[in-house]
Amino acid sequence: QRLKAAVHYTVGCLCQDVAEDKDVQFSKQTIAAISEITFRQCETFAKDLEMFARHAKRSTVTTEDVKLLARRSSSLLKYITQKSEEIASSNMEQKEKKKKKSNAAKERRTSGEQEAAATESEDSNMA
């Protein structure tokens, strides 16, 4: 339930962005449905990723496994591959200059599941 709530919240945020962008509205029921779909899709993803890794005799899921998830659409695959390269290169940079502060890990925002990056933020400016 707690996970579902986090997914629901994040889906709500993303839908809000889209709503503003496209000038449409989502009903609460639509957002709820998308949340539930996302939640259940994560189960499918998790099982597939596990199988892909095992198929390659690994126990750790890698970006290659994630790319396999996106294989059905070449546009999606291209997008995911680009993101993965961005992450890889920013990881490289981080390793090179360890002293510098890392703000590169922000990129991983694909399914928006349990990214616990909770920083109590200064809310006042935007409101």
For binding to another protein (CB under 8 A), which residues are involved?
1-6, 8-10, 12-13, 16-17, 27-29, 31-33, 35-37, 40-41, 43-44, 47, 72-76, 78-79, 112, 114-121, 123, 126-127
In the numeric block, the tokens 């609460």 are attached to 28
- 35: burial class by Cβ within 10 Å (0-12, 13-18, 19+)? buried
Shortest gap between Cβ of 79 and another protein (angstroms)? 5
For another protein, give the closer residue by CB, 65 or 70. 70
Give min distance, CB of 67 to another protein, in A: 15
Is-contact 19 26, C-beta < 8 A?
yes
Q: 82: closest CA among 66, 94, 95?
A: 66
